[in-house]
Amino acid sequence: DRQGFKGLFSIEYEYNWDNSVPDIKKCIEFFNAKVKAF
């Protein structure tokens, strides 16, 4: 926000393909926590 970024972010996660949703959820939670810190 500070830099005026208007683009998109994506998460690519290829490890543990058959059960990746819990790990991706953790990635999203981590990202959201870091964004809120600014």
- Domain residue spans of the chain: 12-37
| pLDDT at site 25 | 92
The closest of 38, 4, 15 to 27, measured between CA atoms, is 15
Please report the pLDDT score of residue 38 as a whole number. Answer: 65
What's the confidence (pLDDT) of residue 26?
92
Is residue 13 within 8 A of residue 20, CB to CB? The reply is yes
pLDDT tens digit at each of 38 positions of the chain: 678 888 887 778 788 889 889 998 998 898 889 888 76
Does the predicted model carry a pTM greater than 0.85?
Answer: no
